[in-house]
Structure 1
Amino acid sequence: MAANISNRKRRFTTKQAEELITQQRADADDACSSDSHSTEESDSDDSDVDFSPESSSDHDSSMEVDEDPEPEGTAGSEWKAKNGQVWSASHQETLRYFPATCRRPGPTRYAITRISDVTSALELFITKEIIQVVVDMTNLQGFRTVTNWKKTDSTEIQAFIGLVILAGVFRSRNEAVLSLWNEHTGRPMFRATMSRKRFETLCTKLRFDDRLSRPARLRENKLAAILKLWEMWEGRLGLLFNPGQDICVDEQLVPFRGRCRFRQYIPNKPAKYGIKIWVACDVATSYAWKMQVYTGKEEGARPEVNQGRRVVLELTEELQGYGHTVTCDNFFTSYALAEDLLKRKMALVGTIRRNKAELPPILLQTRERATLSSVFAFTKTHAAVSYVPKRGRNVLLLSTKHREPSVSEAEHQKPAIILDYNSCKGGVDNLDKVVGTYSCRRKSNRWPLTLFYNILDVSAYNAFVLWVAVDPSWNQTKNQQQQARHEEAMRVQIQSVEEGSTPRQWRSKSRTRNSSGLN
């Protein structure tokens, strides 16, 4: 009934018709005068829309490109991440980054006043206290397992360390002991220092803790077999050197295939199996400033959440307030870590994984993205970039150091964030390279001994860094420097034996046994 009434023709008088026509003309004039203003309002509404794969189709995105010729991410655009974090395409509201003043990089005053030669530099790491721990625990193990154990002392342990380093200098760490002591093809220094049998005995009996009390300590820490020595040594790394502006945090894999509760498998590492150590090192020198052995999760415990964040915060805890920049890979990088470091007056630069909820969806899109293109997103203190090195693939980075959409004009048009990351990411990898070239690490089925060899390797390199900083006149080529530092370290360890009574002399039947020698 209502539909029939609405469809009837309505009759107007002449006067009513004239008034209706006049009103329609007035409305048409008002609409024409406000047409441009309505268009501006429509454009403004479109710019406030959140760009996300779920709410936009391919057709919509193409229409936006046609209507808006400006580059992607114009001023006023905002993107919302899955966790609610709001990003902007413009850096106009991003605060500038002013790093705090760093300490003067290089050896600390404590180290400088105690370094006179390579010997003293190495002894800052392998201290008399550390040597004494090795002596005491080795003698304890020897008396328990060998009937006529010949007591060792600090002089002989230093000689043993010197021979191990010498084997690394000759790149003979994998060479059989029998070959090293061979009268025709071996090294005279080995035979002059101690007998082959004594060297093999020390390798077998070398210990760093009391084995009988170890089970109780293992319940508290899986590293109990070498924990005391490790803490004595690791605590000195930061005491002797101030890192520069850039710090690199990464993992080191010490090769080991024997039995160990916390042995790790990392397929992209050359050794694949070994003991994983978290390392924070100075980018400029690759000085190992802080190290932490990863002992795995506790039995029955759930996997650790935000492990990378915890590791970085622990390794850099003593650097807070000095304006350092931490560079790390996507295992460690997160928005929360960047915020934590900012509270410590430190910056973060690192690659970040695609599954992070704090990233805006616009950075994850690669369809129809031009090769070598970059898309930036900003908050007040963070910058994120999506760079397309090749078609269909992008690289994501997060930074609190960079606050502008800076892109290189070179051939590959890389953002400044990527350039800085590439220049700093290899600090720990370079440490592995220089340490591994002349490593003294001999094959062993005991993981504490493997860690001890790694301690010697890192100590030798760190001592070299300190010595070159104190005496810059060392201007040999890189390879000469590496070999020279190891030869000098080896010579120093054996020197005390040569100047006094050597173990070889103690065993001579024609000489009276020295009271300080072997029993």
Structure 2
Amino acid sequence: MNNTYRSNLKRIRDLLLSDTIEDDYVTGEDSDSDNDSDSVSIESDHTSTNEHISEESDISNSDDDDQCDAYTDDQPETLEKAGIIWSIHANPAQGRIPVGNIIKTKPGPITKVQTILDAFKLFLTHEILDEVVIQTNRYAEHKSSKWKLIDRIELESFIGLVVRAGLHRNNHESLSDLWDISQSSPLYRATMSLQRFRQFLQFLRFDDRQNYDKTDRLSPIRYIFELFIKQLPRHFVPGKNLTVDEQLVPFRGCCCFVQYMPNKPAKYGLMFWLLCDADSRYVLPIDLYTGKKDNIIQKNLVSNVVLHLVDQLPNDVKQGRTITFDRYFTDVKLSEALLNRKMTSIGVVDYRRVFFAE
């Protein structure tokens, strides 16, 4: 700072001297002498002031260094709490990147598609549709002797109408209005009759009731749900940075595990845990929270959720990735478990956690 100030002061002096030279032709040698003495006086005053500030700055810096050294001397190099040892020293830098941190797979889409329908069918596969056809026909035949068997094509038509109604925000309109050509698109009536659509809504099933697991609240859709989840990581390789968080999908229907979250915009809905690629926001494995089991609080819930999501990734995709999460998930044991899977983690630490050293 001292050199910069001197440089600026020298420029000011040169300007003053140049003005003095111009005034020479008017005022003569006496004026030149006065101006020179004034400029020298200005330089002398500012120089002494700058040196005084520099000395004070040096004294202040030395005091800060002494305080910092005293604080460092008072602090132990390591602290232990809840079996976790904390150190004031950072880990030494490694010369070469460990093999476990090298990403061997190129991030990006795996499967190429030409149309939106092709992309849709990557996740709603024939295996899923065929299972729905089997279970729906089985249940409908048991309930109605006049049931006409459905096939995959008719099921796809039904799904298409449902998607279209949602796309055009027709969820609050009655079915009669949707099938009325004068009030809605003729596409609904051209695809199937209103009576047939209502039969789909009545008899649509995703599981075999004879194999119903009463301890699993997701049992009615468990098999279909897992088939869908398996497709998510098959068609995309994430980058080196992943994120884990929850998402509340708005829903107020009849369901025993609807969650109330007052801080969310929707407040009521189904809570999903998501593992996503940070760059593209592509959703990898997901999990649905179905509430407490037998009204018992589950231990290590969030850690188990993260590990469950991670373990659904292929081993070559896990290697070298870093997961970022908020303080709700951050835990030392979770970080150690991720290291065993050749993954690192970054998270905000809540100072109130039992493992955090004060």
- TM (norm. structure 2) is 0.72
Q: In structure 1, what residue type is equivalent to 2:297?
A: P
- Which of 299, 308, 313 is the matching residue for 2:302? 308
Q: In structure 1, what residue type is equivalent to 2:258?
A: R
Of structures 1 and 2, the larger Rg is shown by: 2
- 1:26-425 equivalences under 5 Å are 68-70=66-68, 74=72, 78=77, 80=79, 82-83=81-82, 85-91=84-90, 93=92, 98=97, 99-108=101-110, 111-112=111-112, 115-211=113-209, 213-215=210-212, 217-219=213-215, 221-299=216-294, 302-317=296-311, 318=313, 321-361=318-358
Partners in 1 of 2:266 and 2:180 — Cα distance?
30
Partners in 2 of 1:323 and 1:73 — Cα distance?
37
Is the 2:325–2:347 contact (alpha carbons within 8 Å) kept by the matching residues of 1?
Answer: yes
Structure 1 residues 262 and 97, CA gap change in structure 2 (3 angstroms): farther
**TM superposition shift of 1:214:** 4.4
Partners in 2 of 1:72 and 1:291 — Cα distance?
50
Query: Going by fraction, where is helix more abundant, 1 or 2?
Result: 2
Partners in 1 of 2:69 and 2:214 — Cα distance?
60
Q: In structure 2, what residue type is equivalent to 1:281?
A: C
- Partner SS state of residue 336, structure 1: helix
Gaps of 5+ in 2: 1-62
Mean CA deviation greater in 143-152 or 153-162: 143-152
**TM superposition shift of 1:96:** 8.1
Q: In structure 2, what residue type is equivalent to 1:172?
A: N
Q: 1:26-61: per-residue Cα shift (whole Å, max 9, x none)?
A: xxxxxxxxxxxxxxxxxxxxxxxxxxxxxxxxxxxx
**TM superposition shift of 1:329:** 1.7
Partners in 2 of 1:161 and 1:230 — Cα distance?
16
Alignment partner, residue 45 of structure 2: none
Gaps of 5+ in 1: 1-64, 362-519
Partners in 2 of 1:73 and 1:184 — Cα distance?
81
**TM superposition shift of 1:348:** 0.9
Is the 1:322–1:346 contact (alpha carbons within 8 Å) kept by the matching residues of 2?
Answer: yes
Is the 2:103–2:240 contact (alpha carbons within 8 Å) kept by the matching residues of 1?
Answer: no
- Partner SS state of residue 246, structure 2: strand
Structure 1 residues 192 and 118, CA gap change in structure 2 (3 angstroms): same
- TM (norm. structure 1) is 0.51
Is the 1:214–1:225 contact (alpha carbons within 8 Å) kept by the matching residues of 2?
Answer: no
Alignment partner, residue 416 of structure 1: none
- Partner SS state of residue 278, structure 1: strand
- Partner SS state of residue 196, structure 2: helix
Is the 1:78–1:86 contact (alpha carbons within 8 Å) kept by the matching residues of 2?
Answer: no
Bigger relative contact order, structure 1 or 2, given CA contacts below 8 A and separation 6+? 1
Alignment partner, residue 411 of structure 1: none
Q: 1:39-90: per-residue Cα shift (whole Å, max 9, x none)?
A: xxxxxxxxxxxxxxxxxxxxxxxxxx98933389748753625425343344
Q: In structure 2, what residue type is equivalent to 1:354?
A: Y
Is the 2:261–2:268 contact (alpha carbons within 8 Å) kept by the matching residues of 1?
Answer: yes
**TM superposition shift of 1:268:** 2.1
Structure 1 residues 71 and 293, CA gap change in structure 2 (3 angstroms): farther
Residue-pair matches, total:
289
Partners in 2 of 1:333 and 1:165 — Cα distance?
38
Q: In structure 1, what residue type is equivalent to 2:232?
A: L
Q: In structure 2, what residue type is equivalent to 1:187?
A: S
Q: In structure 2, what residue type is equivalent to 1:254?
A: V
